[in-house]
Amino acid sequence: MRLSSYFMPTLKENPIEAQIVSHRLMLRAGLIYQTASGIYAWLPLGLRVLKKIIKIVREEQNRAGAQELLMPTIQLADLWKESGRYNDYGKELLRISDRHNREMLFGPTNEEMITAIFRDSVKSFRELPKILYHIQWKFRDELRPRFGVMRGREFLMKDGYSFDIDSLSSKRSYNRMFVAYMKTFTRMGLKAIPTRADSGPIGGDLSYEFHILAENGDDTLFVHRDLIESNWKNRDVDYDSDLQFIIDEFVNKCAVTEEKYDLTKMTNDIIKVHGIEVGHIFNFGTKYSKAMNAKVTGSNGKLVELEMGSYGIGVSRLVGALIEAFHDDAGIVWPESVAPFRLGIINLKKNDSCCSAVCEKLYNDLGDDVLYDDRDERVGVKLTDMDLIGLPWSIIVGPRSIVNDRVELKNRKTGEYQELSIEAIMKRFAT
């Protein structure tokens, strides 16, 4: 993409309404635009990040055996009356009447709808187990939306649901998602810490929250050093095997939030850290299948209530959480896997035909994931903007080094510059 024609409205000043760094940087770098309280449009640069996150979430869900579908945003209130949640949910539920005065709502989650779909479609234990997920916009009418996309009203969530014949099988589905979540967040460059959680109003007794570490995270966690140091990056997982041994690695060394912190159950080497919740998994047994009469025929021919779990990832929230985890005074510092572009090119002197020719060549040859700053702007503005939007690498093409066929490569994270030949650059970044 050529920056001269790209729709990337950056701000020079810090927007006063933004209280936290990720919100500030998302507005300043032109990732989002606020259209109403707690509701945002994703501008092209922000949408690119969102899509890279979606891709990773999707790939890891599929790898773990989950299947993608897509449920609508608007739901019938009747479904929520079946489960009993229509009255329980309170004012965060956006209630809607259609032109025939039918009660509807903008879904904040989809347990009821997926249970209804499953109940009507699957009749026998032979079709189990199944994990179904979707990635869809949700609405939660927060009393005081704040922190940008971290606590917005319209937000993008990946929510998955498992259906099993018995609790043993259901625990295996739950374990798959546990492991898939660790892999998902790790691929985004994040350090994820699973903490045992209250299952809350959703019911059931098996629940984990996933926090990612960030210095200014809202939540305080106590984490064993082993977990901080463990490396999930290249961990191979056979999802068809029993994954319980992996979950067991977290027991008691596992992090817990302050109120539940029980030192006696933990070994030494506990570190106090801060985190942001980005995922939540529940195994809630037959809560919804019982209320909504969702049964299949078991192997003995008798009807059995489905054992279910639900698994959420805050997809749009992750964009904010990533920035909270990865930024410095100059702007965002994207990990490579989720950067809006993997590479920037800065033309220091646009009216130098040699600089421009090299930039054009690099831009044309290095693929689609490149942002080329071809604007007629001062050098300082270009370098500052590139730091602000935080691409992992930028190639700086200036008249001094270009006479020797060399350019500079800047590492956004370390701030280091390296002079390299054009050939070496091509080799390194060729797709």
Our finding on whether 254 is near a second copy (CB under 8 A) is: no
d(CA 169, CA 36): 44
Which of 96, 202, 228, 383 is close enough to bind a second copy by CB under 8 A? 96
As measured in angstroms, the least distance from the Cβ of 260 to a second copy is: 31
Our finding on whether 271 is near a second copy (CB under 8 A) is: no
As measured in angstroms, the least distance from the Cβ of 79 to a second copy is: 8
Our finding on whether 70 is near a second copy (CB under 8 A) is: yes
Closest CA to 161 of 172, 151, 142, 174: 174
Which of 80, 125, 139, 288 is close enough to bind a second copy by CB under 8 A? 139
d(CA 381, CA 288): 56
The maximal CA–CA distance of the chain, rounded, in angstroms, is 81
Our finding on whether 33 is near a second copy (CB under 8 A) is: yes
Length of the chain: 431
Contacts of 396 (CB under 8 A, 6+ apart): 346, 348, 383, 407, 408, 409, 410, 417
Our finding on whether 141 is near a second copy (CB under 8 A) is: yes
Our finding on whether 27 is near a second copy (CB under 8 A) is: no
Pick between residue 139 and residue 326 the one whose CB is nearest to a second copy: 139
Which of 12, 91, 233, 302 is close enough to bind a second copy by CB under 8 A? 91
Pick between residue 74 and residue 354 the one whose CB is nearest to a second copy: 74
Pick between residue 275 and residue 340 the one whose CB is nearest to a second copy: 340
As measured in angstroms, the least distance from the Cβ of 42 to a second copy is: 4
Which of 67, 124, 241, 244 is close enough to bind a second copy by CB under 8 A? 67
Closest CA to 188 of 324, 12, 374, 43: 324
d(CA 173, CA 248): 15
Which of 75, 162, 283, 286 is close enough to bind a second copy by CB under 8 A? 75
Among residue numbers 150 through 209, which ones bind a second copy (CB under 8 A)? 153-154
Number of CB atoms found within 10 A of residue 374's CB = 21
Amino acid at 118: F
Our finding on whether 40 is near a second copy (CB under 8 A) is: yes
Q: Which residues of 202-221 are buried (b: 16+ CB within 10 A; e: fewer)?
A: bbbebbbbbbbbbeebebbb
Tokens of 172: 């295996």
Our finding on whether 71 is near a second copy (CB under 8 A) is: yes
Helix (H, G, I), strand (E, B) or coil at 430: coil
CB distance 344 to 396 below 8 Å: no
Our finding on whether 59 is near a second copy (CB under 8 A) is: no
Our finding on whether 73 is near a second copy (CB under 8 A) is: yes
Q: Contact positions toward a second copy, by CB under 8 A?
A: 5-7, 9, 30, 33, 35-36, 39-44, 47, 50, 65, 67-76, 91-92, 94, 96, 98-99, 102, 104, 106, 113, 116-117, 120-122, 130, 132, 137, 139, 141, 143, 153-154
